[in-house]
Amino acid sequence: MYLSDIHTHSIASGHGTTCTISDMAKAASKKGLKLLGISDHGPGTLASGTSSYFRSLPFYPRKRFGIDILYGVELNILDSAGHTDLSDELLNNLDYAIISMHRQNYRSGSVSQNTEAYINAMKHPAVKILGHCDDTHFPVDYETLARAALRENVIFEINEASLAPGGYRGDTRAN
């Protein structure tokens, strides 16, 4: 039984879902979840939350349909220095951030460059989760990444979409 889902996209991410945050909260409540986290894409993605959207999130209700709501973001890692696509001013007001690599705005480097990109990005205190770091397009050194994650108190996501047969992230099972 799942108690929470904290990697979710609303209509603000503009890629497929037509659900508002209220729709998602209602569905989560119906499924018996205790906690829902909203993590729309950062502004570096073609369709994404705008900066005014992320500026408003902290003022939204913390509880809807009887469940707790967290407001976060799925950041785009932009380079191996670990730069991401939301300013500190906005990021620091959110509950959490997921850091992910997406093909439209991160160019894969070597294993050590990709690993370094995650490690540098996760140093930001808002970052709590490594997003789909199973993607075969961005090879990483899992041993090194896991040690860094332990140090920074950041968790690995096992991404359901990555494990779907014929998924667009390649054969992620080994990763």
Query: What is the contact surface with Zn ion in residues (CB under 5 A)?
Result: 74, 100
C-alpha span between 172 and 134 (Å, rounded) = 6
- Our CB check for Zn ion shows the closer of 74 and 85 to be 74
Nearest to 117 by CA among 85, 145, 81: 81
Q: Shortest distance, CB of residue 38 to Zn ion, whole angstroms?
A: 11
Q: Shortest distance, CB of residue 45 to Zn ion, whole angstroms?
A: 8
- Our CB check for Zn ion shows the closer of 23 and 147 to be 23
- Our CB check for Zn ion shows the closer of 103 and 151 to be 103
Structural contact between residues 114 and 139, judged by C-beta atoms closer than 8 angstroms = yes
Q: Which residue is nearest to Zn ion (CB)?
A: 100
Q: Which helix (H) or strand (E) holds 136?
A: none
Q: Shortest distance, CB of residue 11 to Zn ion, whole angstroms?
A: 14
Nearest to 80 by CA among 42, 113, 122: 113
Output the six-digit token pair for 98.
């997921």
Q: Shortest distance, CB of residue 116 to Zn ion, whole angstroms?
A: 19
Question: In the chain, what is the straight-line distance between the N-terminal and C-terminal CA atoms, in Å?
Answer: 25
- Our CB check for Zn ion shows the closer of 72 and 116 to be 72
- Our CB check for Zn ion shows the closer of 100 and 172 to be 100
Q: Shortest distance, CB of residue 9 to Zn ion, whole angstroms?
A: 6
144-149 long-range contacts, Cβ below 8 Å, gap at least 24? 144/115, 144/119, 145/115, 145/118, 145/119, 148/118, 148/119, 148/122, 149/122
